[in-house]
Chains A and B, each alone.
Chain A
Amino acid sequence: MVGNPLTRNIDLSRPPFDLAAYEAVDGYRGLHEIARGLEPGDVLDKVKDSGLKGRGGAGFPTGLKWSFVPMGEDAPRRKYFVVNADEMEPGTFKDRLLMEGDPHLLIDGMIIASYAIQANTAYIFLRGEYTESERILRKALAEAYERGYLGNNILDTGFDLDIILHTSAGRYICGEETALLNALEGKRANPRAKPPFPQVSGLWGKPTIVNNVETVCNLPGIMAWGIDWYRSLTKGNDHGTKLFGVSGKVRSPGCWELPLGTPIRELMEVYAGGMRDGLELKGFLPGGGSTDFMLPEHLDLNLDYDDIAGAGSRLATGTMIVLDNQTCPVGMIGNLMTFFSHESCGYCTPCRDGLPWVDEIFRAFEAGKGSHRDLAILEEHVDYLGPGKTFCALAPGATAPLGSGLRYFREDFERHISEQRCPYRQ
């Protein structure tokens, strides 16, 4: 049986599979099932039963999310399915691999999802900078239209679907699903208040599902090989496989598809090859820049949503950023604070004014001018900018590396104060 449904067709040394090649290896089977009479409700049930959780960061059950969309005779006739391909979480490089490596997998998944919620228009919200992904996706979409897998009355099912590739004009906040919808509507990408949730009132006020690229790429396998197969892939509590990446000063940085529940140590030491010569692991962010630091003592935990949550962090995007013992943790956190400060949309005060303040304090530490009073202000901001205190998840995301960093690397902050300089700098 297939053990790597997300990456099985990916070989970056050659162009990605065209439609015929993709279809020859069990591609578009979900669509053919639909053509044979599979109902939208059947698709929803399968996805629910698979246990698939969103791979964009929040880990929300995908089937449950879909189930909030109004269905049936009384439902609004216009609905939208949107793929969040705005990959911009610092240290995250997985959706690019899927789009550039196997574009038909994404289109296949989009057809399945759109059919399940009965959306006739789907958008791919792609980062403007991903020019290669754009080129490859446009080609694949043209093939799908030509083959009659997109357009009107697909395979005589009476189901119409158009997929529109939208290239974005930037800003990290667009990854937040309601901000993304505003951007797609041509507005400033400030997040929206919830409720109403997009599932009920999303794009142009219509029911809308927004799913991450990797989430959508899980759907073709679930449709082709079934729930039992999907549930058998895992080594842990959560179902399926996931893309895991490692960046930083390891021997072989990269991105691999592994069963959920794989030990972190295996990812770090076998796949990424361990630390470069002369360096030791000091800590790591397990799922991009908005996650809490973890320590070497956590290496024997598994790559599983609950396991990582148990260590006070989040699996999130599954792309690890490794901190070595010769890189300054204060500098690393400071870099993240600069990023979050830049990328605040400016809508709510704690985020707009708090993050630049935090960033300024890190610049002071960098310049050897940090004080204990500054440390206390940073501590306060972990609370002031935390979950529930801001309009969206951007600032709480920033407090994850900040709060855990202050806790785990206290000594490094202290040394910046007592030595009046960065002790890591020669």
Chain B
Amino acid sequence: MNTVDNQLIASTTVAADYLREAEIAEIEHERTLYPDARAVGLEALKIVQKHRGWVSDESLQAVAEYLQLPIAELEGVATFFNLIYRRPVGKNVILYCNSVSCWIMGCEQVKDKIAGELGIGFGETTTDGDFTLIPVPCLGDCDRAPVMMVGPDQHRNLDRADLGAIFAQYREGREQDGR
């Protein structure tokens, strides 16, 4: 999935038609917020990821060309930040807190339950492509540990939560927007 495509590296004019109108509009908005293109680069990767789920080699090259940034530099940035996904992820990314307060409150046992529920461990995606499980540093909700995020939503007190019910909401494609 993530292998280097020699043809792609050799080509220099991929970007022109690659980025969609909506992506370009958002990237151009970011340009108004930062004084140089390099800062926009990281934002553009986030924008492309928002629209396409992850940042493929093609996306990375398109962004680099569009903003006239060295592709290697942008790749260096893309691989540094853990919320930029350089490999495909499932429809919903589970950011699972495994930092110290959650650890004390039993996040390892909850993680075993998630493995039972979804059949995946860290870095893996369910076969139906619905979920990817990724560890994340402290999510800043330590008085309600253990916690995780599914997509944009925080879920707390997981030791007494019905995990199956939580995941089912996302399976049916219903985003939790009752806030």
In whole angstroms, how far apart are the Cα atoms of A97 and B40 in the complex?
Answer: 29
Cβ-closest chain B residue relative to A96: B140
Q: Are B101 and A247 in touch, CB under 8 angstroms?
A: yes
Any B CB within 8 A of the CB of A155 = no
Mark out the residues of chain A between 77 and 124 whose CB falls within 8 Å of any chain B CB in the assembled complex: 87-93, 95-96
Q: Are B154 and A132 in touch, CB under 8 angstroms?
A: yes
Any B CB within 8 A of the CB of A249 = yes
B 13-55 binary contact with A (CB < 8 Å = 1; else 0): 0000000000000000000011110111111011000000000
Enumerate chain B residues within 8 angstroms of A332, measured Cβ to Cβ: 100, 103-104
Enumerate chain A residues within 8 angstroms of B33, measured Cβ to Cβ: 164, 166
Q: Are A128 and B77 in touch, CB under 8 angstroms?
A: no
**Most chain A CB atoms below 10 A, which of B98, B101, B104, B153:** B101
In whole angstroms, how far apart are the Cα atoms of A200 and B136 in the complex?
Answer: 34
Mark out the residues of chain B between 131 and 174 whose CB falls within 8 Å of any chain A CB in the assembled complex: 136-145, 149, 152-154
Q: Are B46 and A169 in touch, CB under 8 angstroms?
A: yes
Interface size class of A (residues with CB under 8 A): 35 or more
Enumerate chain B residues within 8 angstroms of A89, measured Cβ to Cβ: 138
Smallest distance from the beta carbon of B108 to chain A beta carbons, Å? Answer: 9
Enumerate chain A residues within 8 angstroms of B142, measured Cβ to Cβ: 91-93, 245, 247, 253, 319, 321
Enumerate chain B residues within 8 angstroms of A319, measured Cβ to Cβ: 142
Q: Are A95 and B140 in touch, CB under 8 angstroms?
A: yes
**Most chain B CB atoms below 10 A, which of A169, A285, A323, A339:** A169
In whole angstroms, how far apart are the Cα atoms of A345 and B79 in the complex?
Answer: 12
In whole angstroms, how far apart are the Cα atoms of A131 and B80 in the complex?
Answer: 21
In whole angstroms, how far apart are the Cα atoms of A378 and B45 in the complex?
Answer: 40
Any B CB within 8 A of the CB of A316 = no
Q: Are A248 and B104 in touch, CB under 8 angstroms?
A: yes
B 65-87 binary contact with A (CB < 8 Å = 1; else 0): 00000000000110011111000
Beyond A131-B152, A169-B42, A169-B84, whether A92 also contacts B138 by CB under 8 A is yes
In whole angstroms, how far apart are the Cα atoms of A127 and B101 in the complex?
Answer: 19
Cβ-defined partner of A169 (8 Å) among B36, B81, B99, B136: B81
Cβ-closest chain A residue relative to B44: A186
A 158-194 binary contact with B (CB < 8 Å = 1; else 0): 0000001011111110000000000111111100000
In whole angstroms, how far apart are the Cα atoms of A173 and B118 in the complex?
Answer: 31
Mark out the residues of chain A between 247 and 286 whose CB falls within 8 Å of any chain B CB in the assembled complex: 247-249, 253-255, 285
Cβ-defined partner of A247 (8 Å) among B34, B40, B76, B145: B145
Beyond A128-B83, A164-B33, A187-B77, whether A90 also contacts B138 by CB under 8 A is yes
Any B CB within 8 A of the CB of A336 = yes
Enumerate chain B residues within 8 angstroms of A93, measured Cβ to Cβ: 138, 140-143
Q: Are A90 and B77 in touch, CB under 8 angstroms?
A: no
In whole angstroms, how far apart are the Cα atoms of A241 and B101 in the complex?
Answer: 24
Any B CB within 8 A of the CB of A45 = no
Cβ-defined partner of A129 (8 Å) among B80, B81, B149: B149
Smallest distance from the beta carbon of A425 to chain B beta carbons, Å? Answer: 11
Cβ-closest chain B residue relative to A132: B154
The 9 closest A-B pairs by CB, nearest first: A247-B142, A169-B81, A253-B143, A186-B39, A170-B83, A170-B82, A247-B101, A90-B99, A131-B152
Question: What residues make up the interface of A, taking CB atoms closer than 8 Å to B?
Answer: 87-93, 95-96, 127-132, 164, 166-172, 183-189, 204, 245-249, 253-255, 285, 289, 319, 321-324, 327, 331-332, 335-336, 338-339, 342-343, 345
Can you list 23 contacts pairing A with B, beta carbon distance less than 8 Å? A88-B137, A89-B138, A90-B99, A93-B138, A93-B143, A96-B141, A130-B140, A164-B33, A166-B33, A169-B84, A170-B81, A170-B136, A183-B81, A186-B34, A186-B41, A186-B77, A188-B76, A188-B77, A204-B36, A322-B104, A331-B103, A332-B103, A338-B98
